[in-house]
Structure formats: structure tokens, C-alpha cells
Amino acid sequence: MENQAFMPRIGQQAPEFTAVTTQGMVNFPKDYEGKWVIFFSHPADFTPVCTSEFMTFASMEPQFNAANCELLGLSVDGLYSHIAWLRTIKEKIEYKGMKDIEVNFPLIEDISMEVSKKYGMIMEGESTTKAVRAVFFVDPKGTIRTIIYYPLSIGRNFDEIYRALLALQTADAFDVALPADWRPGEDVIVPTAGSCGVAKERMESEEELDCKDWFFCTKKLDKDLVLNTILKK
């Protein structure tokens, strides 16, 4: 039981920690109050899948920042390994047209695996010495809102990570639910009616709802309204 990984759950407060990073000390989540955070782990420095992921994250960082979101990475390697690897990425690696990529977001040193274990990032079925590809979406109040886990062998889908971030913010801002594969500009789902009376009113309402049945109603939500609400100008 001592070595078992306990993963935080959606809706819980993100476990607190203080750590050394490539950008100085980080006190999480306190340092990020008022911002969303994508907190993610990777197995090891100087590995090809992780390199492709870090280049992608770094190239997309302005998009995340515009959505009031910071990036925070972690692996169980040491600080000097992190620095050497990130320097190599900038100086030598080209991938999918990306080159001269500088990683400016913090990368946590976690040699002791203390933080990794707090977040259930060490999976014995994968490895006892490397963190899997975990992604935690932490909201401005320090609450975990979404968790995505990938095995060591598979790189993450970054379009989905960004889409999920926008979806979470849209659901919060407009009090709606979002259907499969939703993207800004597409119809959103009106929360299910909580009583027979509300369901009947909804079916007979002149409000611009598209109700397939009492439990399945959608409505338009303008793309520009969504983006102007959740993205910095």
C-alpha cells in the first residue's frame, strides 16, 4: 500500500507542493491563483516523444496564455538535465516545421518523486521510475476540473487539450453543457430540466431552443461571444 499511487479526483483541490523548476521556485497552486493551469508530467528528458510534446506545448503557449492559462511541466529528472535538454531542443531539434523552439514555462525537478506520487503520476504497470503522461486542468480557484492520462508510449493530443480548456471555460461562463466534439461556434446543450413542469415549459417555450425531446435541448452560442468572453484581447 505504501507504494500505491493515489490520484487526485475531479472536483478536489489540487494537492499543494513547493518545487524547484527551470524558472525558479514554484508554490503550487498558490502562485497561480486567478489563472487556469495545465499541469502535466512526462517520463524523461532526452526522449523523442517527450521532445515532440514539449515543442508542441511551447509553440502553443501563447494560445494557452490568451485563455488565462499557464503551463507547468514535471518529470523525475534533475534540474541540470532539464536545462541541458531544453537547450538541445532549441539548438538542434526540428519537428513538423517547428525549430528554434524555446521552452519558457517551468519544468519541475522531481527526483524524489514526491510531487509525482501526490498526483498519482507513477504507474507501476508502466514504470516505477518514470511518470506517465498525465494532464491536470486546474481552475483559478485551485480545483482540479479535468484529468487526462496517456501511457509512456503515446504522445498527447494537443488539439484536445486546448479544446477541453476552452470548453471548461465556456461551460462555466454560460452555464451550459457541451456535446461530443464541441468547438466554439457550435450549438451548446441546455442543462437537463429538473422537473416535469420545467420540461413541459421548455418544450412549449418560444425561446430559441432546439428540443429533440424534454431532456435534449440545444441552443446557438455565437463563436465571437464565446471567444471574446474567454480569451484575452
Break the chain into its structural domains and give their ranges. 17-157, 175-230
Query: 215 falls in which pLDDT band (50, 70, 90)?
Result: confident
User: Is a pLDDT exceeding 70 seen at residue 127?
Assistant: no
Measure CA 127 to chain center: 23
Instruction: Point out the catalytic residue in the list 50, 69, 211, 217.
Output: 50
Say which CATH topology domain 17-157 has. Answer: Glutaredoxin (3.40.30)
Query: 191 falls in which pLDDT band (50, 70, 90)?
Result: confident
For the structural domain made of 175-230, what CATH number should be given? 3.30.1020.10
Of 193, 195, 183, nearest in space to 217 by CA: 193
User: Is a pLDDT exceeding 70 seen at residue 196?
Assistant: no
Measure CA 97 to chain center: 24
For the stretch 146-170, pLDDT in tens is: 999 998 889 999 999 999 999 999 9
What pLDDT score does 1 carry?
Answer: 41
Query: Rounded to an integer, what distance in angstroms lies between the CA atom of residue 178 and that of residue 205?
Result: 21
Classify residue 98 as left (phi > 0), alpha (psi -120 to 50) or beta.
beta
Q: Three cell numbers at 66? A: 490568451
Q: Three cell numbers at 73? A: 511541466
Which residues are CB-contacts of 81 (< 8 A; sequence separation ≥ 6)?
45, 46
What pLDDT score does 176 carry?
Answer: 94
Residue that the C-alpha cell 493530443 belongs to: 157
Question: Looking at the chain, which runs of residues are DSSP E strands?
Answer: 17-21, 24-28, 36-41, 69-75, 107-109, 133-138, 144-150, 188-189, 210-213, 216-219
Q: 134 has which bridge partners?
A: 149
Query: 2 falls in which pLDDT band (50, 70, 90)?
Result: very low
For the stretch 72-113, pLDDT in tens is: 999 999 999 999 999 999 999 999 999 999 999 999 999 999
Query: Rounded to an integer, what distance in angstroms lies between the CA atom of residue 132 and that of residue 150?
Result: 7
Instruction: Name which of 135-139, 146-150, 174-178, 199-203 the model is least confident about.
Output: 199-203
Q: Three cell numbers at 183? A: 468547438
* 133 in a known ligand binding site: yes
What pLDDT score does 204 carry?
Answer: 59
User: Is a pLDDT exceeding 70 seen at residue 121?
Assistant: yes
Active site residue 50: yes
CB 72 within 8 A of CB 37: yes
Query: 232 falls in which pLDDT band (50, 70, 90)?
Result: low
3-state secondary structure of 143: strand
Burial of 45 (C-beta count, 10 Å sphere; 0-12/13-18/19+): buried
User: Is a pLDDT exceeding 60 seen at residue 198?
Assistant: no
111-138 mean pLDDT: 84
User: Is a pLDDT exceeding 80 seen at residue 205?
Assistant: no
For the stretch 13-60, pLDDT in tens is: 999 999 999 999 999 999 999 999 999 999 999 999 999 999 999 999
